[in-house]
């Protein structure tokens, strides 16, 4: 249930980011309202997988990730509560038969992959200069070289205050723009974390059942 709550918070975070992007500027190559919530949605999925497969180490790992993600900004502070709950619940859950210490390695690998995905998304960014033309209600954006002279808002307004079609009414330079490369690396790393966790869990269930079958076979 806590894992599903984290998924719900991730969806709410995406809606919040989308409605905060009101300033005139061209859209990023990777929508921020999808890329950032994807990190937190992965944490919720890891917690759910760990709970269903009775793997406390995975549940605790998801809780640690939620706590780390809570410090990203004020908008993500709410993930601290499920993070603490996951750590407490994970440390109290009963695990499946021991797996010779591999659970800790798998949980650490999942944490490393998710953290690496966040770093890749926030580091593999770029700078972009742009200008907006046409009516402000329906602008047309164009990306221009950052070395070129850009026009500031209001340079081409008429005496009545309206903006003529084809004239620039806003321009700017954005740093830290999410790129396709960063989004692709993030996606691969998050899928890797989920795949490693899910696949190793199925293997654990299989190996945990086989000994009981072998013991009963002589009878």
pLDDT higher at 187 or 217: 187
Count of domains for the chain: 2
| From 2-11, 64-73, 94-103, 203-212, the region with the lowest mean pLDDT | 203-212
Do 99 and 111 fall within a single domain?
Answer: yes
Measured between alpha carbons, how far is 174 from 103 in angstroms, rounded to an integer? 43
Do 71 and 38 fall within a single domain?
Answer: yes
Over residues 28-57, the pLDDT tens digits come to 778 888 999 999 999 999 999 999 988 899
pLDDT of the residue at 114: 95
Do 56 and 81 fall within a single domain?
Answer: yes
Whole domain around residue 152: which residue ranges?
127-175
Do 118 and 147 fall within a single domain?
Answer: no
Do 103 and 192 fall within a single domain?
Answer: yes
The 8-class DSSP code of residue 30 comes to S
pLDDT higher at 190 or 156: 190
Percent of the chain residues topping a pLDDT of 90 = 37
Do 83 and 118 fall within a single domain?
Answer: yes
Do 101 and 148 fall within a single domain?
Answer: no
Percent of the chain residues topping a pLDDT of 70 = 65
Do 170 and 87 fall within a single domain?
Answer: no
CA of 163: how far to CAs of 24, 25, 137, 139, in Å? 15, 17, 10, 11
Do 142 and 159 fall within a single domain?
Answer: yes
Do 163 and 55 fall within a single domain?
Answer: no
Cβ neighbours for 121, distance < 8 A, ≥ 6 positions apart? 30, 35, 36, 39, 178, 182, 183, 185, 186
């Amino acid at each position: 249930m806590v894992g599903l709550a984290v998924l719900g918070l991730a969806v709410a975070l995406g809606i919040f980011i989308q409605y905060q992007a009101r300033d005139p500027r061209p859209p990023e190559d990777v929508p921020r309202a999808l890329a950032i919530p994807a990190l937190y949605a992965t944490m919720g999925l890891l917690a759910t997988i760990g709970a269903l497969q009775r793997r406390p180490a995975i549940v605790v790992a998801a809780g640690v990730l939620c706590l780390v993600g809570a410090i990203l900004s004020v908008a993500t502070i709410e993930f601290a509560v499920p993070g603490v709950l996951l750590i407490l619940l994970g440390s109290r859950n009963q695990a499946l038969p021991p797996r010779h210490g591999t659970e800790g390695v798998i949980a650490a690998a999942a944490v490393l992959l998710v953290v690496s995905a966040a770093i890749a998304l926030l580091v593999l960014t770029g700078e972009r200069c742009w200008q907006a033309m046409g009516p402000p209600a329906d602008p047309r954006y164009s990306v221009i070289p950052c070395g070129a002279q850009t026009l500031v808002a209001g340079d081409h307004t008429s005496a009545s205050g309206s903006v003529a079609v084809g004239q620039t009414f806003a321009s700017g330079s954005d740093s830290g723009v999410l790129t396709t490369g960063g989004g692709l690396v993030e996606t691969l790393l998050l899928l890797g974390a989920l795949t490693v966790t899910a696949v190793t869990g199925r293997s654990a269930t299989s190996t945990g059942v086989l000994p009981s079958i072998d013991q009963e076979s002589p009878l």
